[in-house]
Every structure is written in C-alpha cells, then in structure tokens.
Structure 1
Amino acid sequence: MTRKFIGRLSAVDTDFDGQLKQLLAWEAVANKQVEEIVAEILQQVRNRGDAAVIEYTNRFDRRNLTGAEDFCLTPQALTEALARIGVEEREALEVSARRVREYHEHQKQGSWRYTEADGTVLGQQITPMERVGIYVPGGKASYPSSVLMNAIPAKVAGVDSVAMVVPAPEGEISDLVLAAAAIAEVDQMFTIGGAQAVAALAYGTETIASVDKIVGPGNIFVASAKRAVFGHVAIDMIAGPSEILVICDGATDPDWIAMDLLSQAEHDEQAQAILLCPDAEFLDAVESSLERQLAELPRATIAAKSLMDRGALILVDSLEQAIKISNRIAPEHLEVSVADPESLLPQIRHAGAIFLGRYTAEALGDYCAGPNHVLPTSGTARFSSPLGVYDFQKRSSIIYCSPQGADQLGRVAATLACGEGLEAHARSATFRIKK
C-alpha cells in the first residue's frame, strides 16, 4: 500500500484482499487491565452504592462530591440551561429534535393478533421498557446530539422513565447538553460518568434506580463496563471508532468529498475514512484537497493521524466493484455520491446508514436529518441495525386457546412431548383433550 499521509490502494492488485484486511483491522474493546479495573468498580458500586459512585467520581473526574445530592440535577437546572443558550442554538436543537422525533414515530410497532377457525387466538403484544439509562460522553467534548438520538426514540417508544448520566470533570458541564436533555424530556439526570455510572444504572444505588437497558457511547472503560453488565441489563451495542466510506463516480466536487472524509477523521485517531472511485485522477484531486483542507482544521492533528493510520483512497474498476467492496466492509456511514444513486441502492446489503446523492453529506445524519446516528461499526452492520424505537420495545407472544383449539393442539403437543421423554408436558396437554 502506497502511503503519503493517506493510504492508496488498487482493487486490481493481486494482494488487495490482504491489504484491505489489514486496513480494516481494529482491536475490539478487550483489554485485560481495563477489564480488571472495571470489574472492581462494578463490584464496589454493586456493594456500596452511592458511596462508591461518589468515591470514583471524585477520583476520576476531580470532583468534591460529599453526597448524592451533589450529582443529581433537577428539572429546573435543565430548563435554566435551555434559557441560557443562544437563540440560534436553541432553534437548532429544536429543529433537530423535531426531525428525529418525526422520523422515529414511523418506527413504532403495534400489537397484533389473529383468530383461527376454531377460535384460538394468536398474536403479539408490544410494550415499552419501563426504565432506560442513556450515557452521554463528557470531558473532551460535549455531545447534545447524542442526548437527542438516544433519549427521543425511547420517549417515542413510550418508556416510562429515561435516566441520563453524563460526566462533569471538575464540575463543568455543557449548557447545550443540559438544554438538549430538557428538549428531549429526560426524566432524571446525574452528573457521573465512567464505569461507575454504568454500574449505577445496571445495579441501582440508594439514589439511582436500576434500568432495563443502557444505551449510548463512551470510552474504553464505559464500553468494557457495558459489556460486563450485559445480561443483567440490555445494552445497545459495543461501538468501535467512527467510520465513513464514500463511493464516488469522480464527478462530485473533490473538496466536498475530502471534507466528508475529514468529518469522520476528526472524531479520533482511530476513526476510519475510505474513498472508493474508478477515476485515478479524481483520487489525486481528493488527496490534494485533503492535504490542503486538513491544515485549516482545529482538530488537524487528530484527523491527520486517523488518515495516516486507517484512511485509504482506493481505485476500483467500476461502481459495481465498489459496491462489492463496500458490502464486505459493512461501513457505519456509506455515502453514494454518484449520478444515479437509486440504481445502486438495491445492491447495497450492509451499511449502518446510507447517504444518497452528491448533496447528502454524512454530517447531516449526525445532527438533524432525522434517522438515528447511533450505528453499528466495525463490520457489525452485517447483522446489526441503527438504534431505534424498536430497541426500547419488547414483544410478548399471545396464545389464547379455545376448547376446540386445546383439543387439537393438545394431541399434537402430547405426541411431541412423549417423543422427547417429557411425560408431565404430555399429561398437561392431554388433560384438556376432549374425552
């Protein structure tokens, strides 16, 4: 693989498959030392509740908490933050929230049932979870968009109570995050983070009630904690670094494509930005644009390392080959920047979110298009889906037998139960058979 400040590959090279595999390699969240630290934190919070939460929060976030009341925010604190932010910021949050809510309303599923000829009723009852916890990162940056994307689908699903945790290093927290929580109608908010926050949500403390599911991104300690509590509570996913893959026919403005790649590269050093194109001259133009525009970014150091370590411009022989490679990668974000993107859509099997057309920047999906920006990463789009209303709903089967149905089904069940050597099952079924 040739590399200046971003890798260059060709899909016709004999060793392309190996090069691509190496490019995509990413060590999942599995660090023995981290896991040992997280296990100790989880156990301490489970045993000691608020006291352990306060101890770890003071240590890791440089706080001076003395009691649980110090990490609990009132609804009034959220509405006051909403009043403090600028008019333009408030309008942006409200537009984004409205669009996210409208999109997710289409995902709501309803209960259903049908009646068989003998009167037996079968169906499915859809119910929301009772209590959900959302984790919103803090510290290096604030993410009000994460508040909206995690809380609003839960609210649309009908979740009774949404509890939000967000770290506040040295007591600092963004007004935008608080304002977003107010707009998303978060029910409870706690200024704690890290593995101790995940533990509090999973196991409960004297102050924080345990939840049914924990969603939202975080650092390696948060991800490891979510993995550890899975099974006791549900989680959304173990997220890897952010990814973008762009398929372009070479006719889009190269500056646009370069900035789209940079929009993900600036997330963190492990983010991945890849361009597939059948036009070598266009790849050259994008590379030049990347180098020029990179120098203008505040997070240039982060983006440069991302491009150097995990980025690539890949020459393909056709758009069809680009689609095949894309399906193999199963990217988190896929931009299809071509003349007729709809014609390629049926061929796309694996992607977290698909952005069609030259004018559809991935960044729009991050903030305000409407679909959720919590997406499967690291190839898991092969079997996972974006966060949605369905993640906060449960399904219960409904079986209501008529006397005739119990007679017919009982005979079938008894035969199968006897075949499995389960006599009590067979007798339970035959008790209801007509004599």
Structure 2
Amino acid sequence: MIQTIDLRGRRPTPGELRALVHRAEVDVSAAIPVAAELVRDVRERGTIALDEQADRFDGGRAETIRVDPAAITAAVARLPTPIRAALDEVVGRERAASRAQVPSPAVTTVAPGAQITQRWQPVDRVGLYIPGGKAVYPSSVVMNVVPAQVAGVGSIALASPPQKDFDHGIHPLILGAAGVLGVDEVYAMGGAGAIGALAYGVPSLALDPVDVVAGPGNVYVAAAKRVVQGDVGIDAEAGPSEVLVIADGAADARVVAADLISQAEHDESAAAVLVTDAPQLADAVRAELERQVATTAARDRVLIALAGPQSAIVLVDDLETAARVSDAYAPEHLEIQTADPGAVLDRISHAGAIFVGAFSPVSLGDYLAGSNHILPTGGTARFASGISAVTFLRPQQVVSYDAEALRGVAHHIRAMSDAEQLPAHGDAVDARFPD
C-alpha cells in the first residue's frame, strides 16, 4: 500500500534527502498557456467568457454570477445549528490568532531629530478564492477572510465555482460562512477565469479589480495566479495537501495511521509521509493503514494517494536524522509525535505549520486550532509562509528629519551622490541650506 524508504546506516546530503520522496507531478508551468488564455478571455469578454467557462468546466453556468446579498442572508439562516456553532468558534479563534500577527508600529531614532517610523498598511481590496471540487470548504472562507479583516482590508470580494448539485449556484455552506463574516460581495465563478476576473475586474458585474488575490485551488488556479502576478499580489501557488509525521516508539500507531489517512483523503495526489526511528512502529502503522483504509469513506482516493510515489514510510537511525529529512522535505503540515517533542521541534526550521504532541492533529489545524490552514506546499515552506494578516499588509517607512539632522549628514549625501554621478541628489540637500 505504501512504500518504505530505508535510510538506516546512511547520511544523505540535503540535496539527496530532498529527492528521496517524490512529490506528486503538478506542473504549474505546463498549465500556464491554458490559464493565460482563460484569463485573457475573461479580461476581454467579461461575463460572456465566464458563462462559457462555467459551462465547460463546472457543468453549467450560474443564473447570475454575482450573488444577491439576500441569498447570502438566507444561507446564513439555513446553516445547520452545529455548523453555525462550529463556524462561530473557529472565527473567534482565528481572529485571536490573526491579531497577534499584526506588527506594531515602531519608531527608530537614528540621531537627534532623525526618525524612521515603520508602519504596516493594509491593501485596499482583496479577492479571495474558495475552491469546489471533491469537497466543500466553508473553513477556507474563514481562513481567507478573517486575516484580511484583521489586517484592516476594507473591501473583500469572494469567488467560488458554481455547483451542479445546487442549481449551478455556490454551495450554501460557503455562502453561509461568507454571510457569517459579513462578506456580501460574492461571485459564482471558478478556475483560472475567476482569478482573471478578480485581478482585472468585470465592469458588467460591478466587480472592481483587487490588489491581492489569495486562496487555494487546482493547478489552473495556481497557474492563473502566476499569470496575473505583477498586476496584483498573490499569496502562493497551492498544490496538493501533504503531511509528514515524525514519530518514535512512544507514538500510537493507530493515531499516526489515522492522521496519514486524514490527509490522503483530500486528493489522489495528497502526500502522507511517516519518518521514524522505530521499525516496530513502522510495521504497526502499516498494519493500521490496511485496517483503517478498509472502512474510510474515501477509500479509493486514499488508496491511490498512499500508493503514490509522494507517500512513504521513511526509516532512519535517530530523531536527529528524522528532523533533517523533514527540513529537506519542508512539509505543508508537520506532526511531531515523540516522547520528547520539544527536542525535535528545536531542530526544525522548514514547515508550513507544526503540530506538537499526540493531541495536536492536523485536523485540529484544518478547523479549530486558530492557526491558518492555507499553507505553503511542494517544499515552498523553505521560503514561504501560509496566509496570515501579514499577507494583506505592506510595511512602509516614514522618514522625518529636522533641519539639524539633515545638515549633519549633508556632506555624506554629497559624497555618495557625486560618487554615483548623481550630483543633483546632493544639490537637492544643499538647496535647503543656502548659507
């Protein structure tokens, strides 16, 4: 069901470690020509192109692309009581965690009368994408919207594909989650075309262009983000979900297997990796996978994901090597289930989100932890982070010098500007001191 990679007795280099577990083949570059054409078509033909793309990719167009705010209000009223209670709880936790991400202004006095103020300004308007497909994601509405709101974004547009099962409208749970958060600008449109519509606007829908596009999606959504980047900001190019579990002999094989399956059910391309220094745990997890997969609802999807080259049980000599394997892989989700998880955590640098201890599963982060579940995939956790309030903020430096402070550095400015053959720079300073 799942391959075994035995690293015992070996000390692979970081490059060799990175190549050990193959990720699912998701070539964003290959999708760019198609995505670029879909974006261009929407930019040129607006709603006509969006309707045609809905017929082609979503099984039918929405009656109206822009959702009537009354329909959003009605969707909130129809939310099942347990779902509404869960949404209220996750919104509260996500707001609390997002507030901690907003940096405070800082003032640095570099000399008497010379100050640099660092402040963080929100973008004016964002477009948030909520995928459809194999599952429905009201939780992703929260994970997108709340950080933007906490950052201070004043205008939010939300897009999600029309669903055949709901009269070619947006899934009611997504509409309800948007309404709970006070978002009333919602569009039934999906895929690369939706990214183009958000980035460049559609006048006939009164859809104004946004400054940042964020949210997960398929390979064509990721490619469309790359196409529009530069005209707008983007969060990241999300790929298939992935989890890496570092576990030792103290871990519960039943729990480890359940966590691997929980990520494998996302998609046939999802990655589930266990790294352990305990061969007996590896054997027990393999047996548990066989047992648990037989009864899981998404059995066929899980089997394909676990049998793929992107999933593996990796045997290592010690937990230090396990941490090296994890850092080379840079997983979207990292779980640490060891007798001393803190010692392993101290060795970790690269992961989208880290779940420490047996009672901190990725499922908690997907919904109720307060952390954000829109995270870097495909190894990009080496240099990227997930969605947060900072995604929608820009640092600005405000410079304030008085006359004496400027006079004190005028000769340095003259020296530098003359050396760079830009003497007018120095002249602009000298003009303030005609004496």
The 5 Å alignment of 1:376-387 reads 376-387=376-387
Aligned to 2:429: 429
CA distance in 1, matches of 2:239, 2:394: 26
Aligned to 1:112: 106
The structure 1 residue matched to 2:173, chosen from 145, 164, 176, is 176
String of CA shifts for 1:356-387, please: whole Å, max 9, x gaps: 11111111000110011111111111111121
Question: Is 1:11 aligned to residue 10 of structure 2?
Answer: no
Aligned to 1:285: 284
**Farther off after superposition, 109-118 or 74-83:** 109-118
Residue 52 of structure 2 contacts residue 61 of structure 2 at CA under 8 Å; is this kept in 1? no
CA distance in 1, matches of 2:282, 2:342: 23
String of CA shifts for 1:34-61, please: whole Å, max 9, x gaps: 3222222222222222332233223332
String of CA shifts for 1:7-52, please: whole Å, max 9, x gaps: 11111265967586142344453354x3222222222222222332
Aligned to 2:143: 149
Structure 1 residues 64 and 45: CA distance shift in structure 2, 3 A: closer
Aligned to 2:87: 93
Aligned to 2:233: 234
Aligned to 1:122: 116
Structure 1 residues 311 and 8: CA distance shift in structure 2, 3 A: same
Residue 410 of structure 1 contacts residue 433 of structure 1 at CA under 8 Å; is this kept in 2? no
**Percent sequence identity over aligned pairs:** 40
User: How far apart are residue 95 of structure 1 and its match?
Assistant: 0.8
Aligned to 1:275: 274
**1:217 match: secondary structure:** coil
Question: Is 1:317 aligned to residue 311 of structure 2?
Answer: no
Residue 18 of structure 2 contacts residue 328 of structure 2 at CA under 8 Å; is this kept in 1? no
Residue 213 of structure 1 contacts residue 234 of structure 1 at CA under 8 Å; is this kept in 2? yes
CA distance in 2, matches of 1:331, 1:248: 15
Structure 2 stretches of 5 or more lacking a match? none
String of CA shifts for 1:259-303, please: whole Å, max 9, x gaps: 100111111111111111111111101000001101111211111
The 5 Å alignment of 1:29-428 reads 29-32=27-30, 34-64=31-61, 70-170=64-164, 171-206=168-203, 207=205, 208-309=207-308, 310-428=310-428
**Farther off after superposition, 113-122 or 355-364:** 113-122
CA distance in 2, matches of 1:318, 1:140: 38
Paired residues in the alignment total 427
State the TM-score, normalized to the length of structure 2.
Answer: 0.93
Structure 1 residues 418 and 97: CA distance shift in structure 2, 3 A: same
User: How far apart are residue 187 of structure 1 and its match?
Assistant: 3.7
The 4+ residue runs of structure 1 with deviation greater than 4 A are 13-20
String of CA shifts for 1:92-132, please: whole Å, max 9, x gaps: 11111111111111112232323454312211222111100
CA distance in 2, matches of 1:359, 1:239: 27
**1:359 match: secondary structure:** coil
Structure 1 residues 290 and 148: CA distance shift in structure 2, 3 A: same
Residue 9 of structure 2 contacts residue 317 of structure 2 at CA under 8 Å; is this kept in 1? no
User: How far apart are residue 213 of structure 1 and its match?
Assistant: 0.4
Query: CA RMSD of the aligned region, Å?
Result: 1.9
The structure 1 residue matched to 2:21, chosen from 5, 20, 23, is 23
CA distance in 2, matches of 1:260, 1:65: 37
CA distance in 1, matches of 2:171, 2:17: 42
**1:421 match: secondary structure:** coil
CA distance in 1, matches of 2:111, 2:5: 62
Residue 243 of structure 2 contacts residue 271 of structure 2 at CA under 8 Å; is this kept in 1? yes
**2:4 match: secondary structure:** strand
Residue 316 of structure 2 contacts residue 322 of structure 2 at CA under 8 Å; is this kept in 1? yes
CA distance in 2, matches of 1:211, 1:39: 18
Residue 161 of structure 1 contacts residue 187 of structure 1 at CA under 8 Å; is this kept in 2? no
CA distance in 2, matches of 1:407, 1:20: 54
Residue 407 of structure 1 contacts residue 434 of structure 1 at CA under 8 Å; is this kept in 2? no
String of CA shifts for 1:393-413, please: whole Å, max 9, x gaps: 112111122111221233212
Give the AA of the match of 2:6.
Answer: S
**1:347 match: secondary structure:** coil
State the TM-score, normalized to the length of structure 1.
Answer: 0.93
CA distance in 2, matches of 1:20, 1:58: 41
CA distance in 2, matches of 1:9, 1:59: 42
Give the AA of the match of 2:260.
Answer: L
**Farther off after superposition, 382-391 or 47-56:** 47-56
CA distance in 1, matches of 2:313, 2:391: 35
Residue 73 of structure 1 contacts residue 190 of structure 1 at CA under 8 Å; is this kept in 2? yes
Structure 1 residues 308 and 139: CA distance shift in structure 2, 3 A: closer
Structure 1 residues 49 and 308: CA distance shift in structure 2, 3 A: same
String of CA shifts for 1:163-209, please: whole Å, max 9, x gaps: 10000133143221111111222241001111111011101111211
